[in-house]
Structure 1
Amino acid sequence: MSAAASARVAPAAPGSVAAGLGALGYGVAALGNLYQAVPDAVWPGCVPAAWEAGIRYFDVAPHYGLGLAEERLGAALAGLPRDEFVVSTKVGRVLEPNPDYAGETDIQNLFDVPATRRRVLDYSRDGVLRSLEGSLERLGLDRIDLLLVHDPDDHVEEALAGAFPALDELKSQGVIGAYGAGMNQSAALTRFVRETDLDVVMLAGRYTLLDQSGAADLLPAALERGVAVIAAAVFNSGLLATDRPSASGRFDYGTVPAPVLARAERMADVASRHGVRLPELAAQFPLRHPAVSTVVLGAATPEQISANAALLGTPVPDVVWAELEGEGLLEAIL
């Protein structure tokens, strides 16, 4: 494993699941043609580039490209040793044939793919089983290492009553190795941590340089319960992905508010004074918290994957974090 992917900037969260994930995972939404189609000459090189960089954890979902990302990930993993990689996928959106398909794409849901399938929200036990069956077929796998309930924001009670008991049953049967939930809010995840026996949570965009709201409730609860936290969307939709943030960039899938841009620019100034890049800060920041085991980064090309892996190659000096905290740009980790 390369130094970049194996570099530890914080201790792993408790539990064998976290240890198996590693510090860096590859989120493969781009393989589902997120925002735009990934050329057939490009996407087959993405997983091999991640493997070469030492990445062994791959995160996907039926939602990504109406199943295309799962199909492409499965094809790319087919020749690799099964016991050496970890795959997480998600439940909550069951894919069905779209009877109204008339040649349109799914770009309204951010994916440039033919809308030959449709998503049906279903957090029931039956929905979990149907979704898992479809994912196993598309991925070409006989088991899923980690299965996450995907964005049950308006279906919390249904997930608690249906999805989580089903996942617990599947884990006991050995069909899945572990289970959890993935959301872009911390309140519901905190409730799941306290009320279920899940192993892992994936928090998107709420424990980043620009949004540390997850530190108030989820991270302490996860530490208390021995639940591993995966930090996703750490670039907040791209604003933190470049050395100098831009007003033309994205923040949480939308335009960048002026105060947020100003704060990001000040962070970039601090980083520059110490010879550090803003994306390095963004990638390494979540791993400083003892509850966080893993950061998942997305990429659409092999070159982006290699660059992402390099972001963990050299730990950011403590003086940089201290200066960011001293200027009120970051909260101190308790």
Structure 2
Amino acid sequence: MRIRKITNTLVELTELGFGAAVIGNLYRVTPAHDARAAVETAWDAGIRYFDTAPHYGLGLSERRLGAVLRDRPRDAYVISSKVGRLLVPHDQPRGVDSEGFAVRDDLRREWDFSRDGVLRSIEATLERTGLDRLDVVYLHDPDDHWKQAAEEAMPALADLRDQGVIGAVGAGMNQSAMLARFLRETAADVVMLAGRYSLLDQSSLDDVLPAAEEHGKSVVAVGVFNSGLLSHDRPAEGMKYDYRAAPVDLVARARAIADVCEEHGTTLPAAAIAFPFTHPRIINVTLGMRDGDQVTRNAALHSRPVPGGLWADLRARGLIRADVPETDPHGEGERCH
């Protein structure tokens, strides 16, 4: 699988990444054997970038991911996790986590973007994963914590990067405007952009992507299926868009895009995975995958060439923005071989 480098670092990511939120029991239980099979199948498919976080299943995702990866050669893969939510004992557990994960709530999340919080979070992640280091660390959803995240957490991460403890630092969130600030105003090398550069939402062309261009920094795209609406060949009513029921007009637009994809001999989900690479600053698409079958499907979709004329046709029909770059997603770009 092709790889691309996070600009100005030594960290290289495979173009397709494994998002480990779902193996932390996001929305429903993922059996342990399915979680292991997902990671092992991703490895067999050539995926070497794995992303997790303490938030995902109150540490379950980190434990499950580490249990598989710790048996692999450490220099053969890249793992990222996140800081900003410390896991602390829950003094009034109710039995089930209240933030979308099907796990017991013996622990709870505590926001902390202080330097001490960053160091404690990384130490706890290493203990849960059983690994000796993290390659990339992101600030996780600092939407309401800009000052502490920018003035304490990011400098703490940058110090660890400069000491060679971690390879790259950044921030990840569902909005793009603040990510642009991290690129312009802090030592971030890379940002994880959730859902804001997809076939249905190109709003990051107004902020984070120009900032990445201006400062020569990198972007990892996640949420490219927009919570599921773009994950099937034929979108249906009742599917999710950004964690909610998809509006009727967006379902209709997704169906129109699917029609154009079919005309070009491809599918909507294949195009959804390929689309972010139209922008030269996007170096990776990371997908949440619950079991081996999902990994096999997504790896196959990623490997299929998407006709370059598709993007021009979608622009001409007004189905994507006119300022979407002309870049061929299968051109050389910043790939390393």
- d(CA) in 2 for partners of 1:223, 1:252: 26
The aligned residue for residue 105 of structure 1 is 96
- d(CA) in 1 for partners of 2:262, 2:305: 15
Q: Superposed, which structure 2 residues align to 1:125-164 within 5 Å?
A: 125-164=115-154
Shift of 1:275: 1.8
The aligned residue for residue 229 of structure 2 is 239
- d(CA) in 2 for partners of 1:140, 1:226: 34
Give the gaps of 5 or more residues in structure 2.
Answer: 326-337
- The match for 1:84 among 76, 79, 99 is 76
Q: Superposed, which structure 2 residues align to 1:262-281 within 5 Å?
A: 262-281=252-271
Answer whether contact 2:170 2:189 (CA < 8 A) is retained.
yes
Name the aligned partner's letter for residue 40 of structure 2: P
Shift of 1:17: 4.9
- d(CA) in 2 for partners of 1:12, 1:57: 12
1:210 is the counterpart of 2:224: no
Answer whether contact 1:13 1:291 (CA < 8 A) is retained.
no
- The match for 2:209 among 209, 215, 219 is 219
- d(CA) in 1 for partners of 2:228, 2:289: 11
| Aligned partner of residue 144 in structure 1, secondary structure | coil
The aligned residue for residue 294 of structure 1 is 284
Name the aligned partner's letter for residue 333 of structure 1: V
The aligned residue for residue 333 of structure 1 is 324
- d(CA) in 1 for partners of 2:161, 2:309: 43
| Aligned partner of residue 88 in structure 1, secondary structure | strand
Give per-residue Cα distances to partners, 1:25-78, cap 9 Å, x unaligned.
000111100111111232111111001100000000000000000000000101
In structure 2, do the counterparts of structure 1 residues 186 and 268 end up closer, same or farther at CA, with 3 Å as the change threshold?
same
Shift of 1:16: 4.1
Shift of 1:12: 6.4
- The match for 1:282 among 268, 272, 279 is 272
Give per-residue Cα distances to partners, 1:149-187, cap 9 Å, x unaligned.
000001111111110111111112222111000011111
In structure 2, do the counterparts of structure 1 residues 200 and 115 end up closer, same or farther at CA, with 3 Å as the change threshold?
same
- The match for 1:56 among 29, 42, 48 is 48
The aligned residue for residue 306 of structure 1 is 296
Give per-residue Cα distances to partners, 1:76-124, cap 9 Å, x unaligned.
101100001000000000001112124x111x31100011110001111
The aligned residue for residue 38 of structure 1 is 30
Answer whether contact 1:125 1:163 (CA < 8 A) is retained.
yes
1:93 is the counterpart of 2:75: no
- d(CA) in 2 for partners of 1:141, 1:175: 13
Name the aligned partner's letter for residue 96 of structure 2: T
The aligned residue for residue 23 of structure 1 is 15
| Aligned partner of residue 285 in structure 1, secondary structure | helix
Name the aligned partner's letter for residue 191 of structure 2: V
- d(CA) in 2 for partners of 1:142, 1:80: 12
- The match for 2:39 among 44, 47, 53 is 47
| Aligned partner of residue 279 in structure 1, secondary structure | helix
Answer whether contact 1:12 1:290 (CA < 8 A) is retained.
no
- d(CA) in 2 for partners of 1:43, 1:60: 13
Moved over 6 A (4+): none
Q: TM-score, normalised by structure 1?
A: 0.94
RMSD: 1.4
- d(CA) in 2 for partners of 1:177, 1:13: 9
Shift of 1:283: 0.3
In structure 2, do the counterparts of structure 1 residues 136 and 113 end up closer, same or farther at CA, with 3 Å as the change threshold?
same
In structure 2, do the counterparts of structure 1 residues 217 and 176 end up closer, same or farther at CA, with 3 Å as the change threshold?
same
Aligned residue pairs, count: 324
Work out the percentage of aligned pairs sharing the same amino acid: 52
Name the aligned partner's letter for residue 52 of structure 1: D
Name the aligned partner's letter for residue 85 of structure 2: R
Name the aligned partner's letter for residue 143 of structure 2: D
In structure 2, do the counterparts of structure 1 residues 13 and 263 end up closer, same or farther at CA, with 3 Å as the change threshold?
farther
Answer whether contact 1:232 1:296 (CA < 8 A) is retained.
yes
Shift of 1:294: 0.3
Shift of 1:215: 1.1
- d(CA) in 1 for partners of 2:249, 2:286: 26
Name the aligned partner's letter for residue 66 of structure 2: G
In structure 2, do the counterparts of structure 1 residues 263 and 12 end up closer, same or farther at CA, with 3 Å as the change threshold?
farther
Q: TM-score, normalised by structure 2?
A: 0.93
